[in-house]
Amino acid sequence: MKVDPSIFKAYDIRGVFPTNIDNDLAYQIGLAYAQYLKPNGEILVGEDVRIHSHELKESLIKGLLDAGVDVVDVGAISTDIYYYGVGKHNLAGGIQVTASHNPPEWHGFKMVKAGPAAMTLEDGIGQIRDLIESETLKPSDKKGNLRQIDLLEEFSDYILGWLKGTEIKPLKVVINPNFGLAGKIFEHIVKKGNLPIEVIAINNEPNGNFPKGRPDPFIPENRTELCARVIEEKADLGITWDADADRVFFISDKGEFIDVYYSNTLLIKQLLAKYPKSKVIYDPRYTWALIEAIETNGGEPTVCVVGHSYIKQKMREVNAVFAGESSGHTYYRDFWYADCGMIPAMQM
């Protein structure tokens, strides 16, 4: 099958539907993933809110099943729930149909091995590309089995566990999930935990057309609405996620965007109080405040090149308790060395 090689990125597969990503390609990815990984167990598959994600997921699942792989379909979920599912249930791998914070016409696939351990262009993504281009992929004589589960309740319990032993004073919080699923998930967690938090939500109904533009809060013009609403509501805090909810950012009670360079120092302080003398990985693009926060709180600063696959690998190598990127990705040892958009919200 002829494919556009540019869609095979360093950490995922990403392109425009149906220009260079379509249902036929999704099916081939399922076959190729199975042939490359040869998984000994079930593969978790989820989807984001994008308008073509469901049909791409169905084609992907068909490819996996035709390759003889057993599949766990978890439906529409955030990327951090996807990582949770693979790690918590000890699955053999996973694929999330998502294009993260890109515009609505973009679609893609984030793939992991067991662990969840990230796949890279050098280790997995490039080989899957080559298998598809080789036109040697064929269905197996043995078909895989499919089951469906809902991870929201157990994920919510897991996130609430981060508040164990913490006294929470009443708070008013304005949230902006940018039409992804994070807002509904956050509201569910607050309700399930009976937390004393008044939630005011904007852009909270999932909508894969992203009617207010690219769903990326790292873009300054995408913050103005939330900043103004925090001031208007006299809220204590603003929280915003990108569309697939693996990146999170905060707004102060004065309506000021807090760069993750500074918010991460607060998260580091909390974690080192719980896990003293631990290693913490920092982003080499931003150094002094992070290094100071790590050393002041008794940790060991450890630098790592940027990129989630490299960071996750480094965390496993040195058993780091935490890592933060300036892009808003936040990684935890207790979250299977993966990035999560809900744990930082609970820490804040």
Catalytic positions are: 100
- Between the CA of residue 304 and those of 112, 254, 255, what are the distances in Å? 20, 33, 32
The SS3 of residue 41 is: coil
The SS3 of residue 243 is: coil
3-state secondary structure labels for all residues of 69-81: CCEEEEEECCHHH
d(C-alpha 33, C-alpha 45), whole Å: 12
d(C-alpha 8, C-alpha 15), whole Å: 9
C-beta separation of 44 from 85 below 8 A: yes
State CA 56 to chain mean position distance.
19
C-beta separation of 258 from 250 below 8 A: yes
Q: Which two tokens stand for residue 66?
A: 């035709």
d(C-alpha 51, C-alpha 142), whole Å: 32
